């Protein structure tokens, strides 16, 4: 995947994307759904996983109401869902799924479709069965996709407000330089500042924004600020590691568009004084 995968600048898509919780009654053209599924299947995830994608027609599986706990609330008018199946044997399946699925979310935005991540509570059994899920597969999350409703409902606005969907942590709370004591400023980030901003604007479960980055020399090291209580509430998928895949997706795609080259590695830099709840995830090595 490269910058030409999208018809518009990535930064524009990142800033335009919103969690759509109210969909129009008119179904999107089948070609758009087919293009979205094909795009997702072609994404090269950072750890080499190949999630198996499928589009689920809610009417065909006769599902009645799907919702996720907490920040999402009810999804009104959703008929189609993009789902990814991952293999239990792949240790980095959550990050790879988050990366590939978020790339598909940005592609949906590019195609004029609304989307909303659903990772907490939904009918995994029924959705999985509709995709022919195998014993060694898991269904980490689905993405509701379709044409956005002409006007957001009051409920939609209230859910977005309660989830803090329009609020993001400042970069000073997320990005560091040389260690955890010094903030990585926009000036210090230089040509990487836009990639970091695209990462900062990424969606996350309950808008927790669990990613923390520290730049050491020629690498950006990604850490997960783990909320163990939240993880215990959502035992069927590691949503916070999925969030890390989402963050990695925004960062890599923005870097590619900017002509900034690099690649992923998993060599823990052992940053001194790393907080106990921070888990090392990956490093982006600048080339």
What CATH number does residue 95 fall under? 3.40.109.10
Domain stop point among 158, 179, 204 = 158
Q: What is the CATH number of the domain that holds 210?
A: 3.40.109.30
The Cα 15–Cα 197 span in angstroms is: 10
What is the domain count for the chain?
2
pLDDT of the residue at 64: 46
Check: CB of residue 203 under 8 Å from CB of residue 91: no
Alpha carbon distances (Å) from 234 to 70, 120, 128? 11, 6, 18
Check whether residue 21 and residue 134 sit in a common domain: yes
Please name the residue that has the structure tokens 């293999």: 87
Structural domain of residue 133, as residue ranges? 3-158
Looking at 158, 183, 204, the residue that finishes a domain is 158
Tell me whether residue 166 is in a domain.
Answer: no
Which residues, in sequence order, are CB contacts of 91 under 8 Å at separation 6+? none
pLDDT value, residue 70: 33
Does 216 share its domain with 131?
no
Q: Residue 24: what pLDDT?
A: 94
Q: What is the pLDDT of residue 162?
A: 52
Residue where a domain terminates, one of 158, 185, 202: 158
- Average pLDDT per 10 consecutive residues for the chain, totaling 287 residues: 83 96 94 97 96 91 47 72 96 97 98 94 86 95 94 56 68 98 95 98 95 97 91 83 98 97 96 97 97
Q: Are 12 and 115 part of one and the same domain?
A: yes
pLDDT value for 182: 98
Residues 38 and 132 in one domain: yes
Considering the entire predicted model, what is its pTM? 0.91
260 membership: H or E segment, kind and range: none
CB under 8 Å to 43, separation ≥6 — which residues? 1, 99, 100, 103, 104
């Amino acid at each position: 995947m490269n910058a030409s995968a999208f018809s518009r600048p990535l930064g524009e898509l990142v800033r335009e994307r919103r969690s759509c919780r109210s969909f129009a009654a008119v179904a999107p053209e089948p070609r758009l759904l087919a293009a979205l599924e094909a795009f997702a299947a072609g994404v090269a995830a950072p750890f080499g996983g190949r999630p198996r994608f499928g589009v689920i027609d809610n009417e065909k599986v006769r599902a009645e109401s799907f919702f996720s706990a907490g920040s999402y609330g009810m999804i009104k008018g959703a008929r189609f869902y993009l789902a990814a199946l991952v293999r239990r044997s792949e240790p980095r399946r959550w990050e790879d799924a988050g990366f590939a699925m978020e790339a598909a979310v940005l592609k949906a935005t590019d195609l004029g479709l609304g989307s909303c991540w659903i990772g907490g509570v939904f009918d995994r059994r029924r959705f999985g069965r509709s995709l022919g899920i195998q014993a060694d597969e898991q269904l980490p999350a689905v993405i509701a996709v379709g044409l956005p409703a002409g006007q957001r409902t009051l409920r939609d606005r209230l859910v977005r407000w309660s989830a803090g969907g329009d609020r993001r942590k400042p970069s000073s709370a997320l990005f560091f330089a040389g260690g955890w004591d010094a903030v990585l400023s926009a000036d210090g980030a230089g040509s990487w500042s836009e990639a970091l901003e695209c990462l900062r604007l990424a969606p996350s479960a309950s808008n927790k924004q669990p990613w923390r980055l520290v730049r050491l020399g020629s690498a950006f090291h990604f850490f997960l600020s783990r909320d163990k209580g939240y993880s215990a509430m959502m035992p069927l998928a590691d949503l916070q590691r999925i969030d890390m895949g989402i963050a990695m997706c925004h960062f890599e795609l923005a870097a590619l568009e900017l002509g900034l080259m690099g690649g992923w590695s998993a060599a823990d830099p052992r940053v001194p004084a790393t907080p106990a709840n921070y888990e090392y995830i990956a490093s982006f090595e600048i080339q």
